[in-house]
Amino acid sequence: MHYSVAAADHGLPHDPFKSLVAPRPIGWITALDREGRVNCSPYSFFNAISDRPHMVAFSSDGLKDARAFIEETGEFTCSFSNWDLRDAMNATSAPLPRGESELAFAGLEPAPSRFVKPPRVKAAPAALECKWLQTVPLTSLEGKTRYFLVIGEVVGVYIDDTFVKDGFVDTAAMRPIMRGGYDQYFAVGPEQMFRMTRPAGGGNFNERKG
Ligand SMILES: Cc1cc2nc3c(=O)[nH]c(=O)nc-3n(C[C@H](O)[C@H](O)[C@H](O)COP(=O)(O)O)c2cc1C
């Protein structure tokens, strides 16, 4: 198979794009609106985009509450879901009316952040506390799109100490879940972790501090 995206002549019942750029990390975004009402929803067009400074971004299809709230108050948190939280994470994607808490709807408890006002998901193994930097409307070869890239700088990091061993974060022990295409997700654990070192001078993790 080798197809033109414009012609969409893949002959498949569903567009395979999101099953190829996969598995994708899920940013579980919490933000407050001007009235202090909380919103929490998952975004898998999400990733880290810089580590100096720490920056993350997610892409919103139009003006959803996460983007609207962040643009109102300038802060958000990004919790990381895992195998145990998979159903709750999914529940928070329900299209609730603005101002109705998806955390309450999904039976999740908030935990206070240290450096921003929006809370994080208490049960999540890790979370990033972020200040909004900018929203970039995404343009395509044809012009405007429906998508907006929301970029934030990480000012605080929460890690459940259970997952810090001998000075290293044990990501695999967190059992993070990731998004595939269609209705597919991936959960990873220690069996999927392997190590590789980069060619000398190529920027191995232990060649620099931070
Ligand atoms: C795992 C997962 C990933 C998602 N990723 C995105 C995404 O990257 N962009 C997006 O616009 N919607 C995404 N959605 C859908 C939103 O979560 C959904 O529209 C939600 O209702 C938005 O909530 P909000 O309006 O409270 O922000 C995703 C849903 C799930 C379950």
What are the pLDDT digits (tens) for 85-102? Answer: 999 999 999 999 998 999
Question: Is the pLDDT assigned to residue 172 strictly greater than 70?
Answer: yes
From the CA of 149, how far away is ligand 1's center (Å)?
13
Task: Indicate whether residue 60 lines ligand 1 (CB < 6 A).
Answer: yes
Average pLDDT, the chain: 96
pLDDT digits (tens, 9 = 90+) for 38-66: 999 999 999 999 999 999 999 999 999 99
Which ligand 1 atom sits closest to the C-alpha of 46? 8
pLDDT band at 202 (very low <50, low <70, confident <90, very high): confident
pLDDT band at 210 (very low <50, low <70, confident <90, very high): low
What's the average model confidence in pLDDT over 141-170? 98
Q: Is the pTM of this model over 0.75?
A: yes
CB 163 within 8 A of CB 169: yes
What gap in Å lies between CA 9 and CA 26, rounded to an integer? Answer: 29
Q: Which domains does the chain have, with CATH numbers?
A: 17-190 (2.30.110.10)
pLDDT band at 201 (very low <50, low <70, confident <90, very high): confident
What is the structure's pLDDT at 209? Answer: 64
% of residues, the chain, pLDDT over 70 = 99
Instruction: Give Cα separations from 167 to 82, 99, 155, 163, 170 (angstroms).
Output: 21, 40, 21, 10, 9
User: Across 44-175, where does the E strand assignment appear?
Assistant: 46-51, 54-61, 75-80, 110-111, 120-121, 126-140, 143-159, 164-165, 168-169
What is the structure's pLDDT at 204? Answer: 84
For 23-77, give the secondary structure using H, E and C. CEECEEEEEECCCCCEEEEEECCEEEEEECCEEEEEEEECCCHHHHHHHHHCEEE
Task: Indicate whether residue 19 lines ligand 1 (CB < 6 A).
Answer: no
What is the structure's pLDDT at 182? Answer: 98
What is the structure's pLDDT at 64? Answer: 97
Task: Indicate whether residue 113 lines ligand 1 (CB < 6 A).
Answer: no
Task: Indicate whether residue 179 lines ligand 1 (CB < 6 A).
Answer: yes
What is the structure's pLDDT at 119? Answer: 98
pLDDT digits (tens, 9 = 90+) for 98-147: 989 999 999 999 999 999 999 999 999 999 999 999 999 999 999 999 99
